[in-house]
Amino acid sequence: MNALTPMPADIATPEALRASLAETAAAVESAIDSLLIRPTGAEAILFDAMRYASLGGGKRLRGYLAVQVAALFGADRNAALRTAASVEMLHAYSLVHDDLPSMDDDDLRRGQPSTHRKFDEATAILAGDALQTSAFEILAAPATHPDATIRANLVLALAQASGANGMVGGQVIDMQGEGKSLGLDQVRRLHALKTGALLRYAAISGAILGNASPEDTARIAAYGRDLGTAFQIADDVLDATASAEELGKTAGKDLAAGKSTYVSLLGIEGATREAKRLCQEACAHLEAFGPSAAHLKALALFVVERRN
Chain residues binding a copy of itself by CB under 8 A are 39, 41-43, 45-47, 50, 93, 97, 100, 102-103, 120-123, 125-126, 128-130, 132-134, 136-137, 139-142, 148-149, 151-153, 155-156, 159-160, 162-165, 168-173, 175-177, 189, 193
d(CA 169, CA 164): 4
CA 51 to chain centre: 18
Query: From the CB of 260, what's the least distance to a copy of itself, in Å?
Result: 12
d(CA 130, CA 47): 9
CA 228 to chain centre: 8
Task: Please name the residues in contact with 65: beta carbons below 8 A apart, sequence gap of 6 or more.
Answer: 199, 202, 203, 205, 206, 224, 227, 296, 299
Using CB atoms within 10 A of its CB, is residue 37 exposed (0-12), middle (13-18) or buried (19+)?
exposed
Residue closer to a copy of itself, measured from CB, 79 or 159: 159
Residue closer to a copy of itself, measured from CB, 153 or 292: 153
Query: From the CB of 122, what's the least distance to a copy of itself, in Å?
Result: 5
Query: From the CB of 230, what's the least distance to a copy of itself, in Å?
Result: 23
Query: From the CB of 180, what's the least distance to a copy of itself, in Å?
Result: 9
Query: From the CB of 49, what's the least distance to a copy of itself, in Å?
Result: 9
Our CA angle for 167, 71, 232, nearest 5°, is: 30
Residue closer to a copy of itself, measured from CB, 142 or 214: 142
In 10 A of CB 18, how many CB atoms? 13
Residue closer to a copy of itself, measured from CB, 50 or 275: 50
* C-alpha distances out from residue 20 to 32, 65, 223, 273, Å: 18, 11, 19, 27
Residue closer to a copy of itself, measured from CB, 24 or 134: 134
Query: From the CB of 202, what's the least distance to a copy of itself, in Å?
Result: 16
Residue closer to a copy of itself, measured from CB, 132 or 217: 132
E strands, the chain, where? 108-109, 112-113
Residue closer to a copy of itself, measured from CB, 46 or 303: 46
Q: What end-to-end distance do the CA atoms of the chain give, in Å?
A: 17
Residue 272, CA atoms < 13 Å, CB-side half-sphere: 14
Query: From the CB of 240, what's the least distance to a copy of itself, in Å?
Result: 23
